[in-house]
Amino acid sequence: MYNEVFDKKTPRKAYQDIITWANSLPYNTLIKKKAEAENLFKKIGITFSVYNNFDSSERLIPFDMFPRIITKLEWLEIQDGVTQRALAINAFLRDIYNKCEIVKAKKIPADLIYMNPAYEIKMVGVKVPHNIYSPIIGTDIIRTDIKSFKVLEDNCRTPSGVSYMIENREIMMRMFPELFEKNNIEPVENYSSYLNDTLKSLAPKKCDNDPKIVILTPGPLNSAYYEHSYLADTMGVELVQGSDLIVEKNITYMRTTQGMQKVDIIYRRIDDDFIDPISFNENSVIGVPGLFHSYKSGYVNICSAPGSGIADDKAIYAYMPEIIRFYLGEEPKLSGIKTWRCSKTADKNYVLNHLDKLVVKEVHGSGGYGMLIGNSASKSKLNVFKKKISNNPNNYIAQPILDLSSVPIFKNKSLSPRHVDLRPFTLIGNRKRKLVPGGLTRVALKEGSLVVNSSQGGGVKDTWVLKN
């Protein structure tokens, strides 16, 4: 396991001051500050929802006060790599919904596109404003040694977590202002302004004035509702539900106390299937009837575009190096992880024979659900997954079990290493490319665990990118 903070027992240069600070904190101060952080989270209302057979409650996301530090050079490597992926992803989406040259060139199998449940046939030939299908991409990155950052997956549909990134910083600055006076740390609070500018640059063809932006949420019961309301507040835009919008003569309007107001850009945080009950799921009660036709007619832009989710399909992930080479003519700047697609007979057989040495994921899964970590699974669970993979191989991919890097957490009276990942957020607009220097660091709070998702018991840290 690569320890980001210590080289054997010696703190690495970027962490020397923080280790001194952490070791100087009295235990009673740690307890007091931890309680203060929890109270701030409660006061602000930062929660997430857990959905399973036994629980559907709102919880505070666990926050650890020891920051994760990224040097300027490390950040430049990450920034270049995720920007490259975001550009390639948007080029890929434009291609597969138009000429599909990548399939004609036999760089990717046709069935992986056309038979994919995330491929939206209704998007074929639709003119997407400025050819930007997915303007907000959250890329999950892990580290395995001092040199290597690797991409675990891309999130192109409705990536969440940016509000935690910003609020983690806000809470740390409130509790330990002296740290930010002594350390030269890049700010993250400009994200909402950058997002606003990015979305405005994607105004639809039939927008004559300063574009009106709204955020479309499924409502307060959604697991990411806090983030939806936070972004609306900090961007200065309206947070709306489907019932707040109406389409008349192909134009999308928002109902207000002053009457109907034309809407030009919708940052949607609802899934494709529920956007419009006329064009998609007829049982949707959270969508807007006629919205998709308004979109196709050029009166409104929906960000991200319907059908964008195919680009973060875990089976597509295996082809990202080819996708980058095909559209950009470049080698990938961030490496991926060896991936076995169980839909291929040889890969399936390998996975079934090495299940205890692999991580198995559902192709369309998220949040750590439906996942197997072979070396920590019981024999009965291994057998269950063998049956699942044998019965439905198209639904699974597998990857090697990687020893994620670690950053310590405050545990009782000492620092204890825990595995982490990182999710930076790339914004791609019309001739605009922007990353806030930072990201969401998720941390596995259970010793030895590789699962960092909040829904599976993980927590979060403030992420510092150093200015020099």
- Is there a single domain that holds both residue 162 and residue 199? yes
pLDDT of residue 140: 96
Query: Span 433-438, mean pLDDT?
Result: 96
Range of the domain at 108: 6-204+300-334+402-465
* CATH number of the structural domain spanning residue 285: 3.40.50.11290
Query: Span 71-81, mean pLDDT?
Result: 97
- pLDDT tens column, 54-66: 455 566 788 999 9
- What does pTM read for this prediction? 0.93
- Is there a single domain that holds both residue 361 and residue 238? no
- Is there a single domain that holds both residue 285 and residue 295? yes
Query: What confidence tier does 208 reach under pLDDT thresholds 50, 70, 90?
Result: confident
pLDDT of residue 49: 54
Query: Span 303-329, mean pLDDT?
Result: 95
Largest CA distance in the chain: 68
- Is there a single domain that holds both residue 291 and residue 328? no
Kindly report whether the peptide bond that precedes residue 229 is cis, defined as omega within 30 degrees of 0. Answer: no
Q: How many C-beta atoms surround the C-beta of residue 392 within 10 A?
A: 13
In the chain, the number of structural domains is 3
Question: For residue 114, what are the contacts with CB-CB under 8 A and spacing of at least 6?
Answer: none
Q: What's the mean per-residue pLDDT of the chain?
A: 93
Judge whether residue 36 has pLDDT over 60: yes
Judge whether residue 445 has pLDDT over 60: yes
Element (H, E) at 83: helix 72-96
Judge whether residue 10 has pLDDT over 70: yes
User: Comparing 46-55, 58-67, 236-245, 298-307, which segment has the lowest mean pLDDT?
Assistant: 46-55
* CATH number of the structural domain spanning residue 347: 3.30.1490.270
Q: Is residue 1 part of a domain?
A: no
pLDDT of residue 366: 64
- Is there a single domain that holds both residue 134 and residue 166? yes
Last residue of some domain: 299, 321, 350? 299
User: Of 266 and 48, which is predicted with more confidence?
Assistant: 266
DSSP letter at 12 equals P
Query: What confidence tier does 40 reach under pLDDT thresholds 50, 70, 90?
Result: confident
Question: For residue 274, what are the contacts with CB-CB under 8 A and spacing of at least 6?
Answer: 218, 280, 281, 284, 286, 287
Q: Which two tokens stand for residue 228?
A: 């939806």
- Is there a single domain that holds both residue 347 and residue 246? no
- Is there a single domain that holds both residue 24 and residue 132? yes
Query: Span 328-346, mean pLDDT?
Result: 95
